[in-house]
């Protein structure tokens, strides 16, 4: 049997899972090569704690290339420029063109900071708690706020799809301000494109709106729904409904967009740069190309006054990576089976930190209709989220991709 060349673009959740599963199952039947601009794996869900000093980047980041080497996976530190699916080639900045038999696209987090002027963290006005290089800067800004308190605004722009992390940051902000003894000097405002609190881009969970509104009232946080940002100035945020939000410190969640390399590969993607796939995470036209996690086009099954997207968190990212790997393995081994699970049919499994407290979310499907869905508050601690962090860091540090 011919040895197949499999290229995986990306080395975090989706890319690492797909690469390790492919090599584990195919062994010498395939040469698996991961291409990524970074050699590190970062546990993004714990980024919400970095801006408050509860975690350092070194606590949640480690080199992934040595783990790949132990698993027999080749690693190239380079940036993909584009993909030519007709020639089965990936163009990279430093290594030129690389040929594949199968391609897995897991290009990870890219954000559309152009949706509102002055939104980009480099402008120095708005903080970001998802991209690793800005997490520790948000901690510096928080320390400045503690010394010289003022209004804080936290929100998600129109088109955003990661409201959960912004909610977590909001509740941790409240908790840490109280712990530092300055909460009474800080007005805290939350705005969101959601039509109601707790929609989360999944159509909400029964009881979720009531629970989150109770949290907001308990923590004395003002909230605005159906919000859309008009413009940002150095001390004010203007919403399109006419409201003006003064701030001393602000964090805003922008929309996700496809990676630049995918935008340069128009035959594979939609207008936002996301790869257009079927329910097996296989491209609808080029059957040897797969995409997982944030790289996948997922259409929102709802329409609201202000547009926003659906969440692409760690759990569905891993699920999609394992499905893609199984389908590639079946194709190489000549099996007719093809595994399918639409993004919206992946179970809803999430633990949301609520300021050293947490809300555990379970549902049989991410999108409605569901047979069951529940939100369970743990008001005493956030040990669930901490245990999950420890589990995933252990799992990826040891290359145990077969674990759930």
Contact 48, 39 (CB under 8 A): no
DSSP per residue, 335-356: --------GGGS-EEEEEE-SS
Cα gap 79→82, rounded to integer Å: 9
Reply yes or no on whether the pLDDT at 356 is more than 90.
no
pLDDT tens profile 266-302: 999 999 999 999 999 999 999 999 999 999 999 999 9
354: which 2 tokens?
């609520």
Bridge partners for 57 per DSSP: none
Taking only the tens place, the pLDDT of each residue in 303-318 is 999 999 999 998 999 9
Is residue 322 within 8 Å of 21, Cβ to Cβ?
A: yes
pLDDT at 250: 98
Give the position of tokens 């708005």.
126
Query: Residue 67 pLDDT more than 80?
Result: yes
How is the chain split into domains, by residue range? 4-110+257-342, 113-255
Superfamily covering domain 113-255: FAD/NAD(P)-binding domain (3.50.50.60)
Q: One fold for both 4-110+257-342 and 113-255?
A: yes
Residue 197 has pLDDT above 90, yes or no: yes
Contact assessment for residue 92 and residue 76, using Cβ atoms and an 8 Å cutoff:
yes
Structural domain 4-110+257-342, CATH architecture: 3-Layer(bba) Sandwich (3.50)
pLDDT of residue 1: 75
Is 90 exceeded by the pLDDT of residue 8? yes
The pLDDT tens digits of the residues spanning 321-343 come to: 999 999 999 999 999 999 999 99
Per-residue pLDDT averaged across 174-198, rounded?
A: 98
Kindly indicate the confidence band of residue 379, based on its pLDDT and cuts at 50, 70 and 90: confident
Place of tokens 């059957």: 287
Instruction: Answer yes or no: are the C-beta atoms of 111 and 294 closer than 8 Å.
Output: no
Instruction: Extract the tokens encoding 355.
Output: 């300021």
Which active-site residues does the annotation give?
Answer: 162, 350
For residue 380, the model assigns a pLDDT of 85
- Given CA atoms 298, 293, 106, 59 in this order, what sign does their dihedral have? positive
């Amino acid at each position: 049997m011919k040895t197949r060349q499999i290229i995986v673009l990306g080395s975090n959740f989706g890319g690492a899972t797909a690469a390790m599963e492919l090599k584990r199952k195919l062994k010498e039947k395939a040469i698996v090569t991961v291409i990524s601009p970074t050699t590190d794996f970062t546990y993004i869900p714990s980024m919400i704690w970095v801006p408050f000093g509860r975690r350092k980047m070194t606590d949640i980041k480690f080199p992934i290339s040595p783990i790949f080497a132990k698993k027999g996976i080749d690693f190239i530190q380079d940036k993909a420029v584009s993909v030519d699916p007709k020639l089965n080639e990936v163009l990279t900045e430093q290594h030129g063109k690389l040929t594949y038999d199968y391609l897995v696209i897991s290009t990870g987090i890219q954000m559309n900071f152009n949706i509102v002027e002055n939104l980009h963290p480099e402008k120095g006005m708005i903080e970001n708690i998802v991209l690793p290089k800005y997490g520790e800067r948000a901690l510096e800004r928080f320390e400045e706020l503690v010394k010289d308190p003022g209004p804080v605004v936290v929100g998600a722009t129109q088109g955003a799809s990661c409201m959960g992390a912004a909610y977590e940051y909001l509740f941790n902000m409240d908790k840490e301000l109280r712990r530092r003894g300055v909460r009474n000097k800080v007005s805290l405002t939350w705005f969101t494109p959601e039509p109601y609190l707790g929609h989360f881009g999944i159509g909400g969970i029964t009881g979720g709106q009531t629970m989150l509104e109770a949290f907001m009232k308990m923590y004395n946080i003002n909230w605005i729904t159906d919000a859309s940002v008009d413009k940002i100035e150095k001390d004010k945020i203007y919403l399109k409904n006419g409201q003006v939000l003064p701030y001393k410190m602000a964090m805003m969640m922008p929309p996700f967009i496809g990676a630049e390399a995918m935008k340069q590969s128009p035959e594979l993607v939609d207008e936002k740069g996301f790869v257009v796939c079927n329910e097996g995470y296989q491209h609808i036209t080029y059957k040897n190309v797969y995409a997982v996690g944030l790289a996948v086009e997922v259409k929102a099954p709802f329409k609201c006054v202000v547009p926003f997207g659906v969440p692409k968190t760690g759990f569905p990212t891993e699920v999609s990576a394992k499905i893609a790997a199984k389908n590639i393995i079946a194709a190489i081994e000549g099996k007719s089976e093809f595994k399918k699970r639409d993004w919206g049919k992946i179970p809803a499994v999430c633990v949301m930190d609520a300021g050293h407290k947490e809300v555990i979310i379970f549902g049989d499907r991410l999108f409605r209709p569901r047979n069951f869905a529940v939100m369970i508050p743990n008001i005493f601690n956030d040990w669930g989220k901490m245990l999950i962090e420890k589990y995933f860091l252990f799992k990826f540090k040891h290359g145990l991709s077969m674990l759930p």
